[in-house]
Amino acid sequence: MSFVVVEKTDRIAWVTLNRPEKLNALNNQVLQDLEQTFATLEEDPEVGVIIVTGAGEKAFVAGADISELKSLDTAGARTQALRGQAVLQRIESMPKPVIAAVNGFALGGGCELALACHIRIASENARFGLPEVSLGIIPGYGGTQRLPRLVGKGVALDMILSGDMVGAADALRMGLVSRVVALADLKAAAEKLARTILTRGPLALRHAIAAVNEGMEMPQDRGLQYEAALFGLLAASQDMQEGMGAFLEKRPAAFKGL
């Protein structure tokens, strides 16, 4: 895959969007490569956590490829939006934790890609924005839906309607990212978080992601019932016995995902 590079080490898969001459912009080939990559990683038993980043130091992903979008008619634009949404929905629905290590610009489709990841860590030079209205369109890969759920309606509308970028510090303040580090420390910070997550029960991680993702779309009372159901399922797992046994015996847990 020419535009997506995958490197695996110690159960961590680094997924790097590799189109630096275009600031890693999302064209149709990149979307196809991303979809194939995540389909493969989901089934890979040697991968427990995935980290997504962009090649170079300037951009995570600077947006969609405008040269492709410009020629679309109404039907083509709708199809393109649904295509991008499907790829990012696959990422958001991954049962394995996905961390976005945002290095530089995350604009338009790049911001939407980061929003689809479960956790976002940003370098100090990161810039986030949904500038689509300046092009006469709106975010089409899920930005109008995920951003308000993450930062609230008012803040999301401010970003979407102004098209302005926000820096890493403001992104942290509004809850768009959970951590900000120096650019030189970004890879190490993402790896450290990934390694912490890898010590946790894989079944618990899978169900925690499901509980949050699915529960956010339910009324709270139904979400609580769903949480309780997943909690009950985990009580029947070998991992729960191992995790609690290890805690009581004051030793590291050896989870098997069973």
pLDDT digits (tens, 9 = 90+) for 55-74: 988 999 998 778 788 888 89
Q: Is the domain of 98 the same as that of 118?
A: yes
Is 112 a catalytic site residue? yes
**Mean pLDDT, residues 15-34:** 92
Q: Which helix (H) or strand (E) segment is 192 a member of?
A: helix 186-198
Average per-residue pLDDT in the chain? 95
- Structural domains of the chain, count: 2
> CA–CA separation, 215 vs 57, rounded Å?
36
- Confidence (pLDDT) at 185: 97
Is the sign of the CA dihedral 247, 253, 256, 257 positive or negative?
A: positive
Please report, for the domain that includes residue 218, its CATH number.
1.10.12
Catalytic residue among 21, 42, 57, 112: 112
Q: Is the domain of 194 the same as that of 206?
A: no
Higher-pLDDT residue of 10 and 67 is 10
Is 35 a catalytic site residue? no
The percentage of the chain sitting over the pLDDT mark of 70, rounded to a whole number, equals 100
- Confidence (pLDDT) at 144: 97
**Coil, helix or strand for 238?**
helix
- Confidence (pLDDT) at 124: 96
- Confidence (pLDDT) at 201: 94
> CA–CA separation, 101 vs 19, rounded Å?
16
Pairing of strands 166-167, 127-129: antiparallel
Q: Which residue has the tokens 């499901």?
A: 210
Q: Is the domain of 192 the same as that of 219?
A: no
Q: Which two tokens stand for residue 65?
A: 């490829």
Full domain range(s) for residue 240: 202-248
- Confidence (pLDDT) at 162: 97
Q: Is the domain of 227 the same as that of 128?
A: no
Q: State the pLDDT confidence band at 21, using cuts at 50, 70 and 90.
A: confident
Catalytic residue among 132, 191, 227, 249: 132
pLDDT digits (tens, 9 = 90+) for 208-254: 999 999 999 999 999 999 999 999 999 999 999 999 999 999 999 99
Q: State the pLDDT confidence band at 1, using cuts at 50, 70 and 90.
A: low
Q: Is the domain of 156 the same as that of 241?
A: no
Q: Is the domain of 128 the same as that of 52?
A: yes
Q: Which two tokens stand for residue 46?
A: 């040697």
Q: Residue 120's closest CA among 109, 130, 132, 128?
A: 128
- Confidence (pLDDT) at 11: 96
Q: What string of DSSP letters covers 152-187?
A: -HHHHHHHHHH---EEHHHHHHHTS-SEEE-GGGHH
Residue 63 lies inside a defined structural domain of this protein: yes
- Confidence (pLDDT) at 153: 97
Please report, for the domain that includes residue 18, its CATH number.
3.90.226.10
